[in-house]
Amino acid sequence: MTPSSEAGEGAEAPVLDPEALVSEAGALVETVTTVGALDEVRTHLLGKRSGLARAHQGLVTLAPEERPEAGRRLNEARRAIEALLADRRRRLERDERARLLRAEQLDLTEVLTPRLRGRLHLVQRTRDELEDVFVGMGFVVAEGPEAETDWYNFEALHMPPAHPARGMWDTLYLDLGDPETVLLRTHTSPVQIHMMENQGPPIYAVMPGKCYRRDTPDARHIPTFHQIEGLVVDRGISFADLAGTIESFTTAYFGPDIHSRLRPSYFPFTEPSAEFEITCTICKGEGCRTCSQTGWIELGGCGMVDPAVFAAVGLDSEVWTGFAFGFGIDRCTQMRHEIPDMRVFYDNDARVLRQI
Ligand code: DAH
């Protein structure tokens, strides 16, 4: 096809080679790598300023009898270019989907070394659980200092300096103030005194914490250990309230098969006093070596707050009555998890700590 002689003086010589347009378009379309870029190329190939559009405009320069054939070929070229674009679009979309799938793929066979994570020590977990049980029964949780004066640890608890009961606790004194006046608390009972002094009755509180005694470590004793103290002070509190509280706690913490019993005992700060025992968790009360065939295991001490203790903190024992109890958290852990030797709690042997 040749442009007619009248044409050509103007700026643009019409391109009337549709096959060339198609093959140029084919090459251009293949260079495109994204769907977005393909839209631009589409405008370039088929838009108002495209070679194809110019060729259409150029039809007028042809002799009238040549125009239909030339027009048909141009239309064919448009369809061919559209097909090229559609084909490229399909392939680009397919590639993009495949790329996305690869990127989002999970390799379920991948083996990752698990990160070593710390965890709470079993004794701490026991403490948390005990607190939960008592909070569920309406108690608050309080804490006191680990370094105490002689007054809080002994005297206010009705153990004057010469009292023989002081011999029950092998005390670690601190090199502070006058000799034998400041010490590492030997039990959590001094927190009872702080509670009564600081907030006054009514009191329904448990007081967990660390205690220290100059003990020789063995399977059931460690020199640094934990206790949880309980104190209730209100009007009209009776020994039955104490027994009921101990029994509720025992079944709540150890399970419905484990019960409690109280046996007469002596503590300077309670009157009357009792030891509380729970069903042996090993034999469930049948009798075994751990419980010396009795079916019972001692857990702690308890009793009604002695009027002398109320007097030490200025409370009128005609108005207020109360009970107290205290037991070892480590002992509790040992019993509940059937751990033969308590010393593993402090050995820091990772092989043991990983299991508990
Ligand atoms: N403080 C005592 C001890 O360490 C245990 C104890 C006994 C606590 C009787 C009490 C109690 O509150 O009433 O052996």
Check pLDDT > 60 for residue 257: yes
For residue 256, what pLDDT is reported? 93
Residue 153 CB–ligand 1 contact under 6 Å: no
Residues 6+ apart with CB under 8 A from 11: none
Residue 229 CB–ligand 1 contact under 6 Å: yes
For residue 10, what pLDDT is reported? 42
Q: Which of 163, 231, 302 to mutate to test the pocket of ligand 1 (most atoms within 8 A of CB)?
A: 302
Q: What mean pLDDT comes out for the span 174-192?
A: 94
Work out the mean pLDDT of the chain and round it to a whole number: 90
Residue 322 CB–ligand 1 contact under 6 Å: no
Ligand 1 atom having least distance to the Cα of 227: 4
Q: What mean pLDDT comes out for the span 195-216?
A: 95
For residue 253, what pLDDT is reported? 92
Q: Higher-confidence residue: 355 or 47? A: 47
- Ligand 1 midpoint to CA 138 (Å): 21
For residue 215, what pLDDT is reported? 85
Ligand 1 atom having least distance to the Cα of 211: 4
- In our burial notation (b when 16+ CB lie closer than 10 A, e otherwise), range 130-165 reads bbebbeeeebeebebeeebbbebbbbbbbbeeeeee
- Ligand 1 midpoint to CA 140 (Å): 19
Q: Which of 186, 189, 231, 329 to mutate to test the pocket of ligand 1 (most atoms within 8 A of CB)?
A: 189
Residue 333 CB–ligand 1 contact under 6 Å: no
- Ligand 1 midpoint to CA 356 (Å): 28
Check pLDDT > 70 for residue 1: no
Percent of the chain scoring above 70 in pLDDT: 96
Q: Higher-confidence residue: 264 or 11? A: 264
* pLDDT tens digits, one per residue of 133-162: 999 999 999 999 999 999 999 999 999 888
Ligand 1 atom having least distance to the Cα of 305: 13
Residue 270 CB–ligand 1 contact under 6 Å: yes
Q: What mean pLDDT comes out for the span 309-320?
A: 98
* pLDDT tens digits, one per residue of 212-250: 998 888 888 899 999 999 999 999 999 999 999 999 999
For residue 337, what pLDDT is reported? 86
Check pLDDT > 50 for residue 12: no
Alpha helices by DSSP H, listed for the chain, are 18-31, 35-46, 51-58, 67-104, 122-136, 150-153, 190-198, 239-254, 307-312, 329-336, 344-347, 350-353
Residue 277 CB–ligand 1 contact under 6 Å: no
For residue 101, what pLDDT is reported? 92
* pLDDT tens digits, one per residue of 320-354: 999 999 999 998 998 888 888 889 998 888 888 87
Most confident of 32-36, 117-121, 256-260, 309-313: 309-313
Check pLDDT > 80 for residue 56: yes
Residue 208 CB–ligand 1 contact under 6 Å: no
* pLDDT tens digits, one per residue of 277-310: 999 988 899 998 888 999 999 999 999 999 999 9
- Record the pTM: 0.69
Residues 6+ apart with CB under 8 A from 248: 137
